[in-house]
């Protein structure tokens, strides 16, 4: 078991200026939090965070990362909260712990399982600070080292996840030894027999291999020295999993694998790398096509080195990597090397910010585009990855908004969505989702989509679902309307086949829908079924929401209305005195409709309020409207000369009863002289009715199109015909 003083001593050795006190404090804090908890091995739980911190120290990480290693399981597994962490260890550490906790919540056994690459991208994108990933890798590495204590059935899942997700991540971040150790551990647990067999084969040849290694080390070393080059030459055995993989890939036995050895030549500077390469190639024949210059063209993860394969003694193929000391650091520890304290423990080091790190990385690479892509994938991937409240991941296109998420969860969730919380806070439908957002959808069975939603969705799925809903609504209401028209015209619910044929309809349902949509005129139906001598004069009991109120006269349920079927909008209702009725085409098309209110369905209507000019008058009137359960759609204020004001409101009401209630409320406001329904006045049978109807519509229409043009409203307000009234 790692000891805290060993860790702090190690940190102090590579970074004398670091905050050892805080590391000690984090240890005590974590030990308290995990008190009484045990690992599967039976050890005290604190042994795990200690081991993780130890791994992080071996990567020479900064003290914030070491502290995070000690605290990384406290929020997930104990009563400690993020707020506690922030209070005791600051926002930087709290942010890191939060990131590690979030990644830990991602469940690999979800349906995203198949897309391992997506998954890796998602993890990269979620971890806003790469130190989060490094802590996570250290965490997983220790869990892998102790996998033997896990129940059999869990080993499999954890092993596969490690192999498919975490080892490639370590590779991507350039932390090679973690990748290799993870792979060998997975290999030993998941393919125990193959592992043991390979192990014993290796053992058998170990003696010979070691001799070869030592001999070659000194041969290369001497050759370089003869040319005056100082170099460190290290031979090593390939790790077991890579040998195993090669045997699988090439379908060969162990005896046929020749490149069990790899050599590293570490020299002083870059130009020497190429000189050393020349010397190695003069010693042994290079294998054509195997030379790679990763110094001139670094790998996407920033790795730099010269690679070559030569045919050594006894026909051994030998891989040789040549690089400088700093390239070597990077090759071993990858991006972790960038958090390592530089020699001398510069004071700046503790305040390293992510941005500074990124710029440093960019400066050091010849290919900033690729480097950036690798480091900060969320700038490049076209998806954002968000979490449900339960921690499931949802990949959504960049620019997606809350309703896209709701529809991605389930169409029903989208359809009934009344609001969302993002990371615990109530958010607007118009906001854009960010990587790592945790989204909670609030639903209500009463909620239905609105057309406005179409502006707030990006995914085809959400768009289609919303449109489909409206199509279904239109279909249903047309069917209901057609049913009524049919029954109230002919007194039947079905018609004979020849009537259907004459109307060009396949079945009675199609007939009803076409009637409801106005695609089939009532007189055409009567012509097809003439024997009844019937006609449709009146539609009884029509519910508010299925009908459209005409914009010219703004009728509301309870008014005497006449309807006309219009192809796209269904039944459009006009006030019976609207000019559209008297001037409309064929009188036979007008149907008297008994229009009833329906709770929740609102209709616009105009009212005019005359009042004395008083401070706060407008506020009082608008409050009285709101208090009586109505809302203002539009409003015009016309200050008449002198002491009177004329207010014109377009308000939403359910029906005439509701309107009367609103008008009474306005009348009771002090200073209000007169309240009238504007369209009703206009339709009262006086001569100017048409002009008023138009004025109202034109006025509100002009306000909508040119909100800033006050002159437009003045013109219509001073309409001479209006003055007469």
Closest approach of Cβ 88 to Mn ion, in Å? 19
Shortest distance, position 164 Cβ to Mn ion, whole Å: 19
Please tell me whether residue 353 adopts helix, strand or coil conformation. Answer: coil
Which segment (73-81, 279-287, 564-572, 600-608) binds Mn ion by CB under 5 A? 73-81
Interacting residues with Mn ion between 665 and 694 (CB under 5 A): none
Asked if 54 interacts with Mn ion (CB under 5 A), we say no
Q: Choose between 73 and 333: whose C-beta lies nearer to Mn ion.
A: 73
Pairing label, strands 383-388, 393-397: antiparallel
Nearest residue (CB) to Mn ion, 72 versus 401: 72
Instruction: Identify the active-site residue in 9, 76, 360, 627.
Output: 76
CB of 47 to Mn ion, least distance (A): 11
User: CA 377 to CA 385: how far, in whole Å?
Assistant: 12
CB of 174 to Mn ion, least distance (A): 23
- Region from 72-80, 117-125, 306-314, 580-588 binding Mn ion, contact rule CB under 5 A: 72-80
Q: In whole angstroms, what is the distance from residue 587 CA to residue 209 CA?
A: 105
Phi-psi region of 436 (alpha: psi -120 to 50; beta: other; left: phi over 0): left
Q: Which H/E stretch holds residue 645? A: strand 644-653
From the list 57-65, 68-76, 405-413, 632-640, the region that binds Mn ion by CB under 5 A is: 68-76
Query: Whose CA is closest to 2, among 175, 173, 145, 136?
Result: 145
Q: Which is nearer to Mn ion, 139 or 161 (CB)?
A: 139
Compare residues 64 and 322 and give the one whose CB is closer to Mn ion: 64
Site size with Mn ion, rule: CB under 5 A: 2
Q: Which strands form 417-422's sheet, in the order they lie side by side? A: 393-397, 383-388, 438-443, 417-422, 425-427
In terms of C-beta density within 10 A (0-12 exposed, 13-18 middle, 19 or more buried), how is residue 516 classed?
buried
Angle between helices 130-145 and 176-190 (to 10 degrees): 30
Whole-angstrom distance, CA of residue 181 vs CA of residue 101: 23
Residue 97 or 272: the one with the smaller Cβ distance to Mn ion is 97
DSSP 365-404: -S-HHHHHHHH-GGGT-SEEEEEETTS-EEEEETT--HHH
Nearest approach, Cβ of 37 to Mn ion (angstroms)? Answer: 12
Rounded to a whole number of angstroms, the distance between the first and last alpha carbons of the chain is 95
Q: How far is the CB of 136 from Mn ion (least distance, A)?
A: 9
Binding part of the chain for Mn ion, among 65-73, 329-337, 471-479, 688-696 by CB under 5 A, reads: 65-73
Radius of gyration of the chain (CA): 39
Compute the C-alpha angle 545/547/551, nearest 5°. 110
> Strand pairing partners for 676?
608
Nearest CA-CA partner of 224 in 287, 288, 273: 273
Can you tell me the distance from the alpha carbon of 502 to that of 496, in angstroms, rounded to the nearest whole number?
Answer: 10
Of residues 6, 19, 43, 77, which has the active-site annotation?
77
Judge whether 32 and 80 are in contact, CB under 8 Å: no
CA 437 to CA 408: how far, in whole Å?
A: 15
Residue with smaller CB distance to Mn ion, 76 or 256: 76
Q: How far is the CB of 70 from Mn ion (least distance, A)?
A: 11
Question: Which H or E run includes 72?
Answer: none
> What's the helix, strand, coil split of the chain in %, to 5?
55, 15, 30
Q: Which stretch binds Mn ion (CB under 5 A): 55-63, 66-74, 601-609, 648-656?
A: 66-74
Specify the residue, 148 or 504, whose C-beta has the smaller distance to Mn ion: 148
Q: Which is nearer to Mn ion, 139 or 437 (CB)?
A: 139
Report the distance separating Cα 431 and Cα 123, nearest Å: 23
- Decide: is 73 part of the binding site for Mn ion (CB under 5 A): yes
- Four-residue CA torsion sign, 718, 720, 723, 725: negative
One character per residue 543-572, x = contact with Mn ion (rule: CB under 5 A): ------------------------------
The helix (run of H) or strand (run of E) holding residue 146 is: none
- Active-site residue, 77 included: yes
Give me the residue label for tokens 């007194």.
491
Q: How far is the CB of 110 from Mn ion (least distance, A)?
A: 20
Residue nearest to Mn ion (CB): 139
Under 8 Å between Cβ of 632 and 650: yes
Residue 20 Cβ, how far from Mn ion at the closest point, in Å?
Answer: 23
Q: What are phi and psi of 589, to 5 degrees?
A: -80, -15
Q: Cβ closer to Mn ion: 276 or 336?
A: 336
- Part in contact with Mn ion (CB under 5 A); list of ranges 70-78, 175-183, 186-194, 506-514: 70-78
Tell me which residues in 490-509 interact with Mn ion (CB under 5 A).
none
The piece of 69-77, 416-424, 430-438, 626-634 that touches Mn ion (CB under 5 A) is 69-77
Tell me the closest approach of the beta carbon of residue 355 to Mn ion, in angstroms.
28
CB of 142 to Mn ion, least distance (A): 7
Judged by CB under 5 A, the chain residues 619 through 638 that form the site for Mn ion are none
Site for Mn ion in 100-159 (CB under 5 A): 139
* Rounded Cα distance, 134 and 142, in Å: 12
Q: For residues 415 and 395, give the distance between their C-alpha atoms in angstroms, rounded to a whole number.
A: 20
From 67-75, 108-116, 272-280, 600-608, give the range in contact with Mn ion by CB under 5 A. 67-75
Q: Among residues 698, 18, 1, 689, which one has the least CA distance to residue 344? A: 18
Question: To 10 degrees, what angle do helices 116-126 and 82-105 make?
Answer: 160
CB nearer to Mn ion: pick between 139 and 440:
139
Of 549, 492, 545, the closest CA to residue 515 belongs to 492
Compare residues 139 and 655 and give the one whose CB is closer to Mn ion. Answer: 139
- The nearest distance, CB 139 to Mn ion, in angstroms, is 4
- How far lies 82's CA from each of 22, 127, 484, 632, in Å? 17, 17, 62, 45
Q: Which is nearer to Mn ion, 104 or 629 (CB)?
A: 104
Q: Which residues bind Mn ion (CB under 5 A)?
A: 73, 139
**Residues belonging to the active site:** 76-77
């Amino acid at each position: 078991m790692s000891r805290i003083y060993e860790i702090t001593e190690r940190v102090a050795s590579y970074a004398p200026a670091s905050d050892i006190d805080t590391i000690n404090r984090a240890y005590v804090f974590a030990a308290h939090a995990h008190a009484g908890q045990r690992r599967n091995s039976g050890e005290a739980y604190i042994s795990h965070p200690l081991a993780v911190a130890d791994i992080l120290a071996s990567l020479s990480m900064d003290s914030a990362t070491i502290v995070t290693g000690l605290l990384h399981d406290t929020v997930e597994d104990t009563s400690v909260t993020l707020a506690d962490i922030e209070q005791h260890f600051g926002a930087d550490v709290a942010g890191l712990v939060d990131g590690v906790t979030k990644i830990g919540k991602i469940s690999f056994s979800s349906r995203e399982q198949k897309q391992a690459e997506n998954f890796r991208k998602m993890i990269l994108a979620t971890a806003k600070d790469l130190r989060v990933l490094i802590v996570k890798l250290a965490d997983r590495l220790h869990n892998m080292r102790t996998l033997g204590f896990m129940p059999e059935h869990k080993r499999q899942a954890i092993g596969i996840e490690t192999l498919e997700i975490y080892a490639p991540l370590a590779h991507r971040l350039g932390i090679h030894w973690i990748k290799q150790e993870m792979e060998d551990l997975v290999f030993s647990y998941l393919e125990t027999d193959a592992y043991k067999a390979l192990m014993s084969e290796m053992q058998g040849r170990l003696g010979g291999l070691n001799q070869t290694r030592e001999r070659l080390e000194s041969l290369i070393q001497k050759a370089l020295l003869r040319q005056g080059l100082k170099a460190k030459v290290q031979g090593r055995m390939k790790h077991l999993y890579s040998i195993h993989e090669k045997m699988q890939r090439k379908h060969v036995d162990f005896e046929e694998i020749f490149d069990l050895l790899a050599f590293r030549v570490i020299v002083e500077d870059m130009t020497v790398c190429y000189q050393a390469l020349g010397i190695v190639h003069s010693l042994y024949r290079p294998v054509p096509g195997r030379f790679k210059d990763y110094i001139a063209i670094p790998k996407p993860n920033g790795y730099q080195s010269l690679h070559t394969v030569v045919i050594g003694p006894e026909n051994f193929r030998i891989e040789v990597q040549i690089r400088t000391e700093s390239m070597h650091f990077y090759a071993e520890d990858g991006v972790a090397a960038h958090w390592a304290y530089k020699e001398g423990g510069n004071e700046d080091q503790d305040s390293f910010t992510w941005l500074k790190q990124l710029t440093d990385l960019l400066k050091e690479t010849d290919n900033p585009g690729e480097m950036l892509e690798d480091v900060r994938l969320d700038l490049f991937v076209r998806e954002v990855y968000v979490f449900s409240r339960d921690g499931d991941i949802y990949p959504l296109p960049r620019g997606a908004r809350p309703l896209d998420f709701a529809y991605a969860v389930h169409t029903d969730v989208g359809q009934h969505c009344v609001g969302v919380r993002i990371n615990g806070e109530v958010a607007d439908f118009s906001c854009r989702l960010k990587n790592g957002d945790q989204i909670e959808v609030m639903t209500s069975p009463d909620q239905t989509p609105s057309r406005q939603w179409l502006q707030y969705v990006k995914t085809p799925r959400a768009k289609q679902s919303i449109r489909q809903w409206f199509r279904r609504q239109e279909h249903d209401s047309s069917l209901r309307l057609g049913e009524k028209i049919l029954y109230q015209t002919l007194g039947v619910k079905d018609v004979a086949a020849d009537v259907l044929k004459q109307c060009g309809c396949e079945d009675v349902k199609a007939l009803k829908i076409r009637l409801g949509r106005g695609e089939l005129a009532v007189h055409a139906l009567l012509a097809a079924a003439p024997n009844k001598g019937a006609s449709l004069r009146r539609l009884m009991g029509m519910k508010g929401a299925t009908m459209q109120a005409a914009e010219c006269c703004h009728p509301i349920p309870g008014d005497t209305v006449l309807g006309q079927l219009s192809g796209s909008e269904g039944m459009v209702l006009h006030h019976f005195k609207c000019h559209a009725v008297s001037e409309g085409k064929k009188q036979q098309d007008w149907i008297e409709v008994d229009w009833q209110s329906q709770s929740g369905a609102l209709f616009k209507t105009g009212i005019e309020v005359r009042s004395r000019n008083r401070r706060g008058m407008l506020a009082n009137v608008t409050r009285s409207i709101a208090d009586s359960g109505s809302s203002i759609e539009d409003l015009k204020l016309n200050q008449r000369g002198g002491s009177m004001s004329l207010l014109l409101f377009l308000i939403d009401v359910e029906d005439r009863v509701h309107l009367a209630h609103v008008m009474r409320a306005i009348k009771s406001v002090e200073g209000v002289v007169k309240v009238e329904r504007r369209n009703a006045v206009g339709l009262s049978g006086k001569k100017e009715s048409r002009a008023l109807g138009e004025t109202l519509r034109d006025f509100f229409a002009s306000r909508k199109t040119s909100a800033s043009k006050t002159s437009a409203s003045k013109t219509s307000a001073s309409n001479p015909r209006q003055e007469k009234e």
